[in-house]
Amino acid sequence: MPDNKPDTVLLYEWRKIWKDIKQPGLKFSDRINYIFNSPGWRHDGTGKTVRQYQRDYWAKKNKKKEDIQKKSA
């Protein structure tokens, strides 16, 4: 967020959603998805949702655990 003003804190994400919805060339379904899908959802597939971040986190954590077990064996 650019600052900690109350209006910025309250409206920041809504402004970002509005900006996403106003992109030219979007299908109506994409506009609806920007409102109701997970944070990070992008119509072109470039964004990462919370579930994708969680998967990446657990995969990384499990890899570290496996590496530690291999070193101790």
Residue 64 pLDDT: 87
Paired tokens of 13? 């994400």
Q: What is the pLDDT of residue 4?
A: 92
pLDDT at 24: 96
Helix (H/G/I), strand (E/B), else coil: 23:
coil
Distances (CA, A) of 3 to 8, 10, 15, 17, 55: 7, 11, 14, 18, 31
How high is the pLDDT of residue 2? 86
Please give the average pLDDT of every successive group of 10 residues along the chain, which has 73 residues.
90 93 96 92 90 93 86 75
Phi-psi bin for 28: left (phi > 0), alpha (psi -120 to 50), beta? alpha
